[in-house]
Amino acid sequence: MFAEGAAQSLAAQTAGTANQKQVIAARFAWCPRTASDVANMEGGGSGGGVAVDEYLSPSDAGRFCLAAASAELPSDFSYQAVACCSKVPEGGVQRWDLSEAKALLGWEPADTWPDGVREILADNDGGYTNVDGLF
């Protein structure tokens, strides 16, 4: 929240100036990095069975970041917090509002749990470090 507040303040202070800053504050869902993260998610995480509803695949995260970095924003745009989550599995609960991501960045998730999990587990238990193919 502190980083978002600082970014919003910077955007507001520079709005309408020659040094105008346009800021997208990304709010990422849970992107597991290790085998234990995946196991926790499969077990419902800390939310009693809701973890897979809040999954973010590595590929969706990469495509979101690319969309945010390359978006052609309106000239009067200064700041927006934008949610990023993969598609909710059938029967799941949509907990993240992705309408800003679609409207502002043209981004929509492509993956659903467990898309991308095999790649996370194949990398190593110390963390997901294989970024090939994310974009």
Interatomic CA distance for residues 120 and 131, integer angstroms: 10
Model's pTM, two decimal places?
Answer: 0.84
Q: What is the pLDDT of residue 52?
A: 86
Q: What is the pLDDT of residue 48?
A: 54
- Report in angstroms the alpha-carbon separations of 57 from 8, 12, 65: 27, 32, 12
The residue behind tokens 């409207």 is: 103
Instruction: Provide the percentage of residues in the chain whose pLDDT is more than 70.
Output: 86
Identity of residue 93:
V
Cβ count within 10 A of residue 18: 5
Q: Is the pLDDT of residue 92 over 90?
A: no
Hey, which residues does 126 pair with through a beta bridge? none
120: left (phi over 0), alpha (psi -120 to 50) or beta: alpha
Q: How far is CA 111 from the centre of its chain?
A: 12
Mean pLDDT in residue range 70-74: 95
E strands present in the chain: 23-28, 79-84
Q: pLDDT for 13-51, tens place per residue?
A: 999 999 999 999 999 998 888 888 888 888 876 555 557
Instruction: Provide the percentage of residues in the chain whose pLDDT is more than 90.
Output: 60
| 3 state DSSP class of 122 | helix
Interatomic CA distance for residues 128 and 58, integer angstroms: 9
